[in-house]
Structure 1
Amino acid sequence: MAVTPGEDGGPARDASESVSFGVRVAAAWAWRVAVILGTTGLLVWLLSYVSLLVIPLMIAALLSGLLSPIVAWLRRLKMPAGLAVGLTLITFLGLLGALVTVVGRTMARGFEPLWTQAMDGLETVEQWVFSGPLNMSNDDVTSLIDEALQQLRQNSSEILSEALSWGSALGHLAAGTLLALFALIFFLLEGRRIWAFVVRLAPTRARAPMDGAGRRGWRSLVNYVRVQLFVAFVDAVGIGLGAFILGVPLALPLGVLVFLGSFIPILGALVTGTVAVLLALVANGWVNALIMLIVVLAVQQAESHILQPLVMGKAVSLHPLAVVVAVAGGTMVAGIAGALFAVPVMAIANTMVKYVAHRQWEHDPDLVPSGPPMPAPPDVDGEEPPLPPRPVRSPEERIDD
């Protein structure tokens, strides 16, 4: 390659040498980070168009992480795979249905006496409106009602469109539920075979790293689900115990409702907290309701900013700040679904990246056969050569481990 002589007669310097080392490093980092962020954003944008398919599959994966240890325990008892999966699913769905039924029936019975108190409260509010500081007359109330009806008539098309969208959302919810249940059955029944098929799609040299990273990521998912159960239990105990101490009726079913709602980010906490405050307001007055509101906010804030970051971060090997940022960022990008899946997705990605970066598949006990390796014959000098590395098993050989 010819080099153009410089002004002093010597060889000219390469143009890149005129750029400082720090600038070159910053540029190298900049375009790589831009590619990563752009690819991630494009992937999220594409997935948003198939959210009806992706979200049920991710929910099925979370439930599979919760139920797979039970299925594995039943398999160790020599139970057939289909029977183990069926028994686990029937027990899980039966327990979930029993909890919902108990909560619904108990609250329905408890609301009967509360309804009378609520009507008395409405009469008190009505008297305050007419004889209190507002000093409103019947004509004023009638005028307000007429204005409200007029607004409803003017916005009837928007209301109808919103109702139709809710109907479509309910249809999507039913379809997603069936898809999640169907996927959950196969994840529990043939999860290893499905993963082995996915690994076989990779190049031969990449199969061992991919397989080992996937296994470590799955362990992070299982740890996440277990910790989420613990966090939901703490929420239920905290709010239920607070309601019991304050004399709020239906404290026990309220605790169960909080436990179930804790698995729905943002919306679950909002709905269950509102129910707790309304029960306190109707039964014991606004002072008791205000105290109940403080209890609900204290428990939820402690769970979001103290318990979950510390316990969850330790379980999934994430810093507490990373957990908070992941939930906040997921909520901003994808709403409730983003808040639900942000932490497990980040935990899985973090585990898999560290696994590959440290080349852990080279000494991963999950990827090698049990027992010590066979020694090689001595070399010509009579010295024992180092033991050869143990061969990595293929995904097919590890299906029934």
Structure 2
Amino acid sequence: MQDERDDQETAAESAVDAAAKKSASYPRPLVIIVGVVLSIIGLIALQQVSSFVTPVFLGFNLVLAISPFFHWMIRRRVPKILAGVIAALLVYALLILFVLLLVWSVALLIQELPKYGTQFNELYRTLLDWLGSFGITQDTLLSQLQGLFNPAQIASLLQGLMGNFGNVMSLFATLLVVIFFIFFDAVTFEPRMEAVRRERPLVGAAFDSFSQGVGRYWVVTTVFGLIVAVIDVIALEMLGVPLALVWGVFSFLTNYIPNIGFVIGMIPPVLMALLANGWVNALVVLAVWSIINFVIQSLIQPKFAGEAVGVTPTVSFLSLLVWAFALGPVGALLALPATLLVKAVLVDANPDARWINILISSDPKLDDDVEQPKLTHEGDSEVDGTPAG
């Protein structure tokens, strides 16, 4: 009897302690402030190790993009090791093609630009005349720009460019090694995920959704980038803009940058049209380029991407700024996948945080997420029979 009373008292004390802890929960504003501060600290810390994190995360993204082909080979009874080697070689080939296209386009641009020196000088004089109408003379403009162009600053700029080139080569080399090891582990990765799905169903479902969404995002972005590039090249050729193929390559590469990518890719062809054909041609190129990219990227592409992205345009743009700050220029390419990873870990895997999807999702399923009370006759609630009003 005494033991039974002790057990009951212990249970009662545990219940009291649990109730006390629940009542002593932190205020929600304090939790939000602490969360924001920790997020900022995390981004600053991530910035310090971006040279390591960026190639690793980029490698994971490339593996996820090619994973449908990897699984297709396995379903065709190709040995897993051989399938991994073939998939890794395919990723390497795509990376090398990416670099070669970039080098080719820049080299062709450097070779072509000196031919438009006269047109550039005329454009410069026109700009000076326009500024002169506002009282800004050439001497004033040169005095303002003199501090920007001196031997010391030019040397510093060249050193920075050489440093960035070294960083790019280091990132590329690290990326090649990371991809190899990821595909090496991919042979035994699926049994591990099965174990995770059994132990933590929500976590497994969140990571499955993330991997499928990111893989589809890269495939859809690549396919529509090619479509946009081909249409841009045809339009530029019809408008008589020089180096149309180069601008098509730039359009394809900048298509991977969400929201502002097509604007970045539009600037060079508009300037070239201005130098080669004048203001009217440049304005026509600006209008045609904007219409093509807006219709395809903003109206058609999201229909095929589906839930691959699944966040509002505002969240997409803010993620571009945040991840470019944390991971550098490559962070602009990885902005949406990085946001989807954070969403999978902090929101999708946590039942208490799934309401955040209603705020950030581009297509929130409000009818499925919110249960409405069923009504009986004359508006009575089915719960207790009391009037719903």
Q: Note whether the superposition's TM-score is higher than 0.5.
A: yes
Alpha carbons 1:309, 1:320 under 8 Å: kept: no
Q: What code does the residue aligned with 1:340 have? A: L
Q: What code does the residue aligned with 1:225 have? A: W
Task: State the partner residue of 1:171.
Answer: 166
- Mapped to 2, the partners of 1:161 and 1:177 lie a distance apart of 24
Q: C-alpha deviations, 1:133-176, integer Å up to 9, x for none?
A: 999xxxx99x89997997578x4434333332332222222111
Distance change >3 Å, CA 158–CA 212, structure 1 → 2: same
Q: What code does the residue aligned with 2:316 have? A: V
Larger-Rg structure? 1
Question: Which of 330, 341, 366 matches 1:348?
Answer: 341
Distance change >3 Å, CA 244–CA 50, structure 1 → 2: same
Q: Can you give the 5+ residue segments of structure 1 that lack an aligned partner in the other structure?
A: 1-23, 361-401
TM-score (norm 2): 0.65
Alpha carbons 2:273, 2:282 under 8 Å: kept: yes
- Mapped to 1, the partners of 2:42 and 2:130 lie a distance apart of 58
Task: State the partner residue of 1:318.
Answer: 311
Counterparts of 1:208-219 in structure 2 under 5 Å?
A: 208-219=201-212
- Mapped to 2, the partners of 1:322 and 1:110 lie a distance apart of 35
Moved more, 187-196 or 63-72: 187-196
Q: What code does the residue aligned with 1:73 have? A: W
- Mapped to 2, the partners of 1:329 and 1:302 lie a distance apart of 27
Alpha carbons 1:309, 1:324 under 8 Å: kept: no
Task: State the partner residue of 1:159.
Answer: 154
Alpha carbons 1:309, 1:319 under 8 Å: kept: no
Alpha carbons 1:114, 1:283 under 8 Å: kept: no
- Mapped to 2, the partners of 1:124 and 1:42 lie a distance apart of 50
Alpha carbons 2:46, 2:326 under 8 Å: kept: no
Task: State the partner residue of 2:282.
Answer: 289
Q: What code does the residue aligned with 2:287 have? A: I
Task: State the partner residue of 1:67.
Answer: 66
Counterparts of 1:2-401 in structure 2 under 5 Å?
A: 28-95=27-94, 97-98=96-97, 101=100, 116=115, 118-122=116-120, 151=147, 155-191=150-186, 193=188, 207-264=200-257, 269=262, 272-301=265-294, 306=299, 312=305, 314-327=307-320, 329-330=322-323, 336-352=329-345, 353-357=347-351
Q: What code does the residue aligned with 1:255 have? A: G
> Larger RCO: Structure 1 or Structure 2 (Cα < 8 Å, ≥ 6 residues apart)?
2
Distance change >3 Å, CA 303–CA 350, structure 1 → 2: farther
Cα RMSD, aligned residues only = 4.6
Q: C-alpha deviations, 1:200-257, integer Å up to 9, x for none?
A: 9x9x996554344323322222122223224423432442232133132443443233
Deviation of the 1:49 alpha carbon: 0.9
Alpha carbons 1:235, 1:300 under 8 Å: kept: yes
Deviation of the 1:125 alpha carbon: 5.8
Alpha carbons 1:254, 1:276 under 8 Å: kept: yes
- Mapped to 2, the partners of 1:222 and 1:71 lie a distance apart of 12
Alpha carbons 2:84, 2:186 under 8 Å: kept: no
Distance change >3 Å, CA 208–CA 56, structure 1 → 2: same
Q: Can you give the 5+ residue segments of structure 2 that lack an aligned partner in the other structure?
A: 1-22, 355-389
Alpha carbons 1:64, 1:188 under 8 Å: kept: yes
- Mapped to 1, the partners of 2:241 and 2:271 lie a distance apart of 10
- Mapped to 1, the partners of 2:257 and 2:283 lie a distance apart of 24
Q: C-alpha deviations, 1:296-351, integer Å up to 9, x for none?
A: 34445556655566655633333455434433554566664443333223323434
Deviation of the 1:189 alpha carbon: 2.5
Deviation of the 1:258 alpha carbon: 1.4
Moved more, 28-37 or 39-48: 28-37
Identity across aligned pairs (percent)? Answer: 24
Deviation of the 1:75 alpha carbon: 2.7
- Mapped to 2, the partners of 1:167 and 1:108 lie a distance apart of 17
Alpha carbons 1:309, 1:323 under 8 Å: kept: no
The number of residue pairs the alignment matches comes to 327
Q: What code does the residue aligned with 2:119 have? A: G
Q: What code does the residue aligned with 2:277 have? A: N
SS at match of 1:248: coil
Alpha carbons 2:105, 2:249 under 8 Å: kept: no
